[in-house]
Amino acid sequence: MRQYYGALNAIGGLSGYGRYMISPIDPCRNPAPIDPIYRGPCPPNPDGTDFEDVYAYFYQDGIFSVTAASPAVTTEEGVLFRRAELNSVGILSDEGIIKEKTRILIVDPGVYVVSYRIDVPEESAIDTTFALLYNREIIAGTARYVNKAENAGQTSAGATAIISVDSSGAELILGSTDTFTLTPGLYDSLASLTIFSIA
């Protein structure tokens, strides 16, 4: 019998549904007290992947561009978004997320925080709307219009949202309504996308 029991949350309290608590009748823990920290031969989550965290961080290394040849999707409202590709993986959980060039597949159901950021260098000109698309529809609150002339100062755009993914999974796309080419300075990364499960 499994007993769900609070794991420490970000503010130091106990959440209502922890992942790693085993009831005292578990032979691997009995007669030891219930303890959320792995201190012995039995793993905190003996069922394997049932409660694994799912996370990913993607970023752009080098020139960031969307061209007329980039794959595109059209929303139900008729808005065409060209799909941006982030070419580098900072970190990716062992399962739950699959990256396929210009789209990301979330295959584990749950609740996720998704966030993106675009940095436009001072020398670059751009006139487009960025958005995160969930199953080819704009995630509410993530569309950002960016209009900047060349040598008009640096600017950035980004958004964060919470999405719920059911057992059918989800396709996530970082889209742009127009084409552009951004060239980074030394050590700059011009775009990033973060995904992590919270429930």
Give 24 or 70, the one with higher predicted confidence. Answer: 70
Residues 6, 69: one domain? no
Give 9 or 55, the one with higher predicted confidence. Answer: 55
Among residues 42, 47, 19, the alpha carbon closest in space to that of 29 is found at 42
**Which one-letter amino acid corresponds to residue 127?**
D
Residue 3's pLDDT band (boundaries 50, 70, 90)?
Answer: very low
Residue 94 lies in domain:
55-197
Residues 189, 99: one domain? yes
Q: What is the distance between the alpha carbons of residues 195 and 160, in angstroms, rounded to a whole number?
A: 10
Residues 74, 132: one domain? yes
Q: What is the distance between the alpha carbons of residues 172 and 137, in angstroms, rounded to a whole number?
A: 9
The whole-number pLDDT of residue 40 equals 52
pLDDT tens sequence across 32-50: 454 444 445 554 444 444 4
Q: What is the distance between the alpha carbons of residues 173 and 133, in angstroms, rounded to a whole number?
A: 5
Residues 41, 63: one domain? no
Residues 164, 76: one domain? yes
The whole-number pLDDT of residue 85 equals 96
Residues 101, 190: one domain? yes
Residues 42, 65: one domain? no
- Taking the CA atoms of the chain, what radius of gyration do you get in angstroms? 21
Among candidate residues 48, 66, 83, the one where a domain is terminated: 48
Residues 172, 155: one domain? yes
pLDDT tens sequence across 93-140: 999 999 999 999 999 999 999 999 999 999 999 999 999 999 999 999
The whole-number pLDDT of residue 52 equals 73
The whole-number pLDDT of residue 170 equals 96
Number of structural domains (the chain) is 2
Residues 71, 155: one domain? yes
pLDDT tens sequence across 51-80: 479 999 999 999 999 999 999 999 999 999
Residue 9's pLDDT band (boundaries 50, 70, 90)?
Answer: very low
Among candidate residues 48, 72, 87, the one where a domain is terminated: 48
Average pLDDT over residues 13-31: 45
Residue 8's pLDDT band (boundaries 50, 70, 90)?
Answer: very low
User: Could you tell me the CATH number of the domain that includes residue 154?
Assistant: 2.60.120.40
Overall pTM > 0.95: no
The whole-number pLDDT of residue 5 equals 35
Q: What is the distance between the alpha carbons of residues 20 and 5, in angstroms, rounded to a whole number?
A: 8
Residues 95, 135: one domain? yes
> Where do runs of H (alpha helix) occur along 3-150?
none
The whole-number pLDDT of residue 50 equals 47
